[in-house]
Chain A
Amino acid sequence: MKFDQPYDTPKHTMYEHDVIVVGAGGAGLRAAIAAHEEGADVAIVSKLHPVRSHTGAAEGGINAALREGDSWEDHAYDTMKGSDYLADAPAAETLCKDSPKETIKLEHWGMAFSRDDDGRVSQRPFGGLSFPRTTYAGAETGHQLLHTMYEQLVKRGIKVYDEWHVTRLAVSDEEKPEDRNCHGIVAYDVQTGQVEGFRARNGVILATGGLGQVYDHTTNAVANTGDGVAMAYRAGAPMEDMEFIQFHPTTLPSTGVLITEGVRGEGGILYNENGERFMFEYGYANNLGELASRDVVSRAELTEVNEGRGIEDEYVHLDMRHLGEERIIDRLENIIHLSEDFEGVNPLDAPMPVKPGQHYAMGGIETDENGETCISGLYAAGECACASVHGGNRLGGNALPELIVFGKRAGHHAAGKDMEEAKITTGKEGEYELGEVDSPVELGEAGIGEDAVADGGTAADAGATVSGADLVQRAVEDERETIDTLLEREDGIQQAEIRERVQKSMTRNVNVFREESALKDALRDIREARELYQDVFVADKSRTFNTDLLQTLETRNILDIAEAITLGALARNEFRGAHWRKEYQERRDEEWLKHTLLSWNDGRPELWYKPVILEGEDKTYEPKVRSY
């Protein structure tokens, strides 16, 4: 099938840019600025206006080896240890080497960092760090970073299509994902309901952030539905290490609002119901106590609750009153507001109730250290990507540098800058092995081969001769059909019910502590939700700002991601980093120094593995017992 060009009609437009960035948080903004620096015509397409992005909620800081006595090598060592030896050393070392100059770049862009008496940017201790290298702006570092970067975007006049929800990628349909090309995206204009194509002459960068809405207790925003990960997955790019979900130890029980690790970094203490400082008294972390890495503290808290020493059988206390009002206001003022507004507790007068909550996905779209996926012209950076920097567990303060370091690299690469050849392979280009998992239900798409709605990804049967623009146009037409189908249906089930079922099941079954029977229950629940989704309908028939439709499209992404997390968790028969298994209480290096990958293979997940790379530039990171 051949389309007549051009695709612009009185009703429709096909947009065209060299580089298209999907998402406008820290990684997306940095990628766009970098592509612009390289002379590319770049545009951002985002379902939120940039300043609404969830990067703004990051509190703690940016790890960067800036000071005498510190070094990128120490930062890399801490990162590899924190990852429980599942990070790839070339990615972790890239992060640690580039972070200092990228952090100072933010300072040169005017970011309002907290300051020491000598006028230099302040740094503080954070969990799992051997040096106080977390560079911060009060307890609102992400807000300052996001706004600083958006200012630079405005300065450069970079085009933003805001409140455009990207629904699928226009990727060619060669048999092997490694042979495919990404030519653009399809997006839905939330304001008008128009579905339009965006052709990317050079490349598409996914920077869609987190996926916390897979769970019902999360620090993530309502918008964090893992759209980019799911979209790339359905287009053939594998998801990597999805079972590794970080549960942050200090979230407010009633809302999931985050209380920064900076509270413990500054000296805050955790107590159980008996007023015991359990991190030490029960031996969870005899050296670092409250500042052990996040997975360790989260498990300790839940163990306290499970053994009857929790408060109201639900949470523990985080006390910072002894730090004194002056220091708290100077360094953690935002925490006073959050605790008062969202939990009704003034932390200057009383300890804050806290419990673990979903916070961060270590896994994501498989990329190399230059941000490229196995599909030509498709890049990913930030939380939606997996390079992998964080492996089995991310250190606090390592997410923000990831955004600026890998956002920039992806932006440069997509704009055509020469990059050093990547040491990390993507797709089935290097060594790999197929895996197996014993699932109690069928996996993947329900109703395969039937008129499945809301399929994303690959434009089918495009043939070898079609141009990139044709491919984008075909994807646009598929999407219009999908959306029309959803809007035409008069009855069935609504997305809120399906989403709620999945979120509850994930929190119940695929949480901090995981066991086989519960993981299988989750797979059953997800299967049932997938079947219900076959009959999803959108009650709001309006084309104007239809959030009912938007959420229905997002819920499809939640289904694919929930399945991937659970499947990975069931397959990994060991305890590593944030992934704890009741039946397997040890890290099993002889078998599991490998990344979990899932590829979308004709509507079914295919499980495979590739080895982790522990060889760094000058040394190999030998796995050691991880104690804090």
Chain B
Amino acid sequence: MSTQVPESVEEESATETASAGKQKRDAKKRERAERVQEQREAEAAEKARSADDTFHLKVFRYDPEVPEKQEPRFDDFHVPYKQGMTVLDALMWARDHYDSSLTFRHSCRQAICGSDALFVNGSQRLGCKTQLSDLSEPVRIEPLPHADVVKDLVVDMEHFYDQMESVEPYFQTNSLPDGELDEQRQTRENREKVKMSTRCIWCSACMSSCNIAAGDNEYLGPAAINKAYRFAMDEREGEDMKQRRLEILEQEHGVWRCQTQFSCTEVCPKDIPLTEHIQELKREAIKNNLKFW
């Protein structure tokens, strides 16, 4: 062994049997753990009481397995406010100090992983990108509408992923350069044209906000159409591939379903002009003289 064991390690008394000693130690340890936990809870309560400013959250709760939560309900949390605090910060605080079963997806905290799209005071927003100070109280936090709730704020994303993956969401071209070090050329203008469409973080806020998607389960939805736009407008794919993409897009549940209500564009946390992209694809489809019904 290479690491020195310190001298202060407790020696067991010889009169004690090993198991009695262990039980006693265990009991002592557990007591200490419980003390620390109680202290933490008391501190959290004190912090909430003494904070100059607290925010009142009303959070949707549901768990199919827990009897008290099988009937959806709203729980109230009063979270001490710090400048710059976001909806996600507040949810994390509530979870870590009041109720560890409060469940929501989150990861990057910086609006790039797209995990925490929520329905906040009646609109789709990313929790991490929404300042509490911009919201009126109580802040009502619900899971995204038009999706099945798994638990609390977590919704089933499968349908969204299926739609995203149904538009051949990958680069295709018939004319790659031969050399493994030879780049395809792309003009700055063309890169600029597709730039906004590549910003999508798959949060599904747009899909949740779309009335058409709510009524037509097969509608591709704004995010998937935007994904197809990203490739259809990329000059590196070539004209024949563009034809193919337009055919996919003008299927019965494709671009023509959009009624230009702009709700997707309004909620997109990455400011992607989704409705414009859909409109442009409609124009392209007509221009290319493709049939539509």
Contacts and interface: CB of A to CB of B under 8 A. Distances in A.
A437 B194 contact: no
Contacts of A254: 84
B4 A438 contact: yes
29 contacts: A48-B113, A49-B202, A51-B113, A53-B113, A112-B191, A112-B195, A112-B198, A115-B188, A115-B191, A118-B185, A120-B185, A143-B112, A147-B198, A151-B170, A152-B170, A221-B109, A222-B106, A255-B109, A439-B3, A439-B6, A450-B26, A495-B100, A532-B32, A535-B30, A536-B33, A540-B103, A541-B66, A547-B103, A607-B2
A536 B36 CA distance: 11
A417 B210 CA distance: 48
Interface string A115-130: 1111111000000000
A493 B96 CA distance: 12
B101 interface: yes
B137 interface: no
A496 interface: yes
Interface string A421-453: 000000000000011111111110000001000
B112 A104 contact: no
A492 B22 CA distance: 17
B96 A606 contact: no
Give the 6 A-B CB pairs with smallest separation, nearest first. A110-B171, A119-B185, A540-B101, A535-B33, A151-B170, A493-B33
A499 to B, nearest CB: 9
Contact of B113 (A52, A257, A538): A52
Contacts of A606: 1-3
B100 A492 contact: no
A107 interface: yes
Interface stretch (B149-157, B257-265, B277-285): B149-157
B37 A494 contact: yes
A57 B113 CA distance: 8
B186 A532 contact: no
Contacts of B11: none
Contacts of B115: 48, 52
Interface in A87-121: 100-101, 104-105, 107-110, 112-121
B14 interface: no
A223 interface: yes
Contacts of B108: 52, 54, 56-57, 221-222
B198 A532 contact: no
A532 B194 contact: no
Interface string A567-584: 100000000000000000
A56 B101 contact: no
Nearest to A545: B151
A567 B4 CA distance: 12
A491 interface: yes
A542 B151 contact: yes
A542 B101 contact: yes
Contacts of B104: 547
Given A119-B186, A338-B111, 12 more contacts: A48-B113, A108-B177, A113-B186, A119-B187, A121-B183, A147-B200, A222-B108, A441-B6, A492-B33, A531-B32, A545-B150, A607-B2
Given A112-B191, A255-B109, A496-B100, A534 B3 contact: no
B150 A191 contact: yes
Interface of A: 48-49, 51-54, 56-57, 66, 100-101, 104-105, 107-110, 112-121, 138, 140, 143-144, 147-148, 151-152, 154-155, 191, 221-223, 254-258, 337-338, 341-344, 434-443, 450, 491-497, 500, 531-532, 534-536, 538-548, 567, 601, 604-608
Contacts of A120: 183, 185
B3 A443 contact: yes
Contact of B6 (A344, A442, A450, A491): A442
A118 B186 CA distance: 8
A66 to B, nearest CB: 7
A115 B183 CA distance: 11
- Residue of A116, A343, A548 with most partner-chain B CB within 10 A: A548
A437 B107 CA distance: 36
A364 B6 CA distance: 27
Contacts of B187: 115, 119
Contacts of B194: 112
Nearest to B126: A341
A115 B114 CA distance: 26
Interface string B193-231: 011001111100000000000000000000000000001
A148 B230 CA distance: 12
Contacts of A256: 109
Interface in B1-49: 1-6, 9, 22, 26, 29-30, 32-34, 36-37, 40
A535 B29 contact: yes
B184 A107 contact: yes
A337 to B, nearest CB: 8
B1 A255 contact: no
A440 B108 CA distance: 36
Contact of A497 (B29, B40, B176, B186): B40
Contacts of A438: 4
B110 A151 contact: no
A404 to B, nearest CB: 13
A601 B185 CA distance: 54
Contacts of A110: 170-171, 173, 231, 234, 236-237
